[in-house]
Amino acid sequence: MRLTPTERDRLLIFTAAELARARRARGVRLNVPEATALIADTVCEAARDGRRLAEAIEAGRTVLTADDILPGVADVVTTLQVEAVFEDGTRLCVIDDPFRGAGSLGPEAPGAALPGDGAGYEPAEPTVRLQVRNTAPVPVTVTSHFHFFEANPRLAFDRAAAFGMRLAVPAGSSVRFDAGAVVEVGLLPIGGDRIVIGFAGLVDGPLDAPGARDAALAKATACGYLTNFEQEESR
């Protein structure tokens, strides 16, 4: 059986979550990876059951309490993000305060982030600007480092121009496209080795390989993705 990288990641989360459930059932308090996997799996399964975004997030936020986790876990895991497959497509679920305020150490917590003054940070200028129209009946959110070419199929924009690009926004942030709205976005080339694995499965390898963009465009078209701004969702 051939699995995509996204499917392999989902199975890894499920396996870790099953281990966490077994340990919790024995009365063992969960560590960071176990608690994270159990929350993420709960959200993904809620989406798979047909629940809406807010309901899936609430399921993840309430699955564990302070009594289920080791001391310090709530101070480390303050926010959790997981992409889940809903009936209307893949959507980012952001679970803030997943243990209902169980953390208490504040800036002294293990792994706590201490904000700096921002000196020396210069935001990069976008190299491409695109008009994006959301033809879906629900809002769509795309995160900063998602391969924008592979964003939700109901977003209508010039996908060829977005190949190998990501949103020109700070890491960890996102852009929301309300239903029916048109939003202009700035894009930057994906850096590093420029190897894309996972996401929506339209690309699985080096972005700059010969024929990679044409093959990805053909696959996107075959899978029903809108590939230009003027397209409308098929009814």
User: Is 90 exceeded by the pLDDT of residue 115?
Assistant: no
The predicted structure's pLDDT at residue 76: 84
pLDDT digits (tens, 9 = 90+) for 150-201: 999 999 999 999 999 999 988 888 899 999 999 999 999 998 999 998 888 8
Kindly state the average pLDDT of the residues 200-225.
93
Element (H, E) at 162: helix 159-162
User: Is 80 exceeded by the pLDDT of residue 41?
Assistant: yes
CA of 86: how far to CAs of 94, 99, 152, 197, in Å? 14, 24, 12, 21
pLDDT tier at 120, thresholds 50, 70, 90: low
User: Is 50 exceeded by the pLDDT of residue 137?
Assistant: yes
Cα 211 from chain centroid (whole Å): 27
pLDDT digits (tens, 9 = 90+) for 2-36: 888 888 899 999 999 999 999 999 999 999 999 99
d(CA 173, CA 178) in angstroms, rounded, equals 16
pLDDT digits (tens, 9 = 90+) for 71-88: 888 888 888 999 999 988
d(CA 1, CA 20) in angstroms, rounded, equals 26
Beta strands in the chain (DSSP E): 79-86, 89-96, 128-134, 140-143, 155-156, 165-167, 174-177, 182-189, 195-196, 205-206
Tokens 């499965």, residue? 201
User: Is 50 exceeded by the pLDDT of residue 235?
Assistant: no
- CA quadruple 141, 82, 160, 124: dihedral positive or negative? positive
Between 138 and 116, the higher pLDDT residue: 138
User: Which of 108-117, 133-142, 185-194, 214-223 bottoms out in mean pLDDT, i.e. has the lowest?
Assistant: 108-117
pLDDT tier at 113, thresholds 50, 70, 90: low
Give percent of the chain with pLDDT exceeding 90.
65
DSSP character at residue 23: H
User: Is 60 exceeded by the pLDDT of residue 109?
Assistant: no
